[in-house]
Amino acid sequence: MDPAGKVMERSEVSYNENNKPVERNVYDGNDKLIKNIVLRYNEKGLLSRVTETNGEGKVTSDITTSYDERDNVIERRIRDFHSRTLRFTFDDRNNCIVEEMLDENGNLTMKSEFEFDENNLLISESGFYTDMNRSTSMANTHSRYEYEFYS
């Protein structure tokens, strides 16, 4: 509500038989539809797709998510103004050990690697980043952090 008590925005949410949200409509203060979000789930009940449209029905965002057999997110494809794909690799203890981001053309723009000790504690992480915004050349940076635990 604004300071005068007028509703600025309201939402209506629909749920499936498992009580998970499947659609959200967002309206402005004049009851005009400004956004629609549809959520879909896979056979295990995990969120597999989120599609957002504007008030005119144009898709503004479409996100699909894939999982491995242990229900870890292994890929998330994001299609919007800055489309990208995120990929994740997990070890046998379900720790994310690699995270990658690719641009809309499939070029690797970011990669992070994580290392865990025998107690499943994060002991190091490395990040590689490519600055794709430069018009004449690409700049690459790398950072590494190591962690020690004291009792």
49 vs 140 pLDDT, higher one? 49
Query: What integer pLDDT is reported at residue 136 of this predicted model?
Result: 46
Report the mean per-residue pLDDT for the chain.
90
137 vs 7 pLDDT, higher one? 7
Count CB atoms within 10 A of the CB of residue 39.
20
pLDDT in tens, 101-125: 999 999 999 999 999 999 999 999 9
**Dihedral angle at the C-alpha atoms of 133, 134, 137, 138, nearest 10 degrees?**
-40
Q: What integer is the mean pLDDT of 65-70? A: 98
Taking the model in full, what pTM does it have?
A: 0.81
Residues in contact with 83: Cβ distance below 8 Å, sequence separation at least 6, in sequence order: 103, 104
pLDDT surpassing 80 at residue 132: no
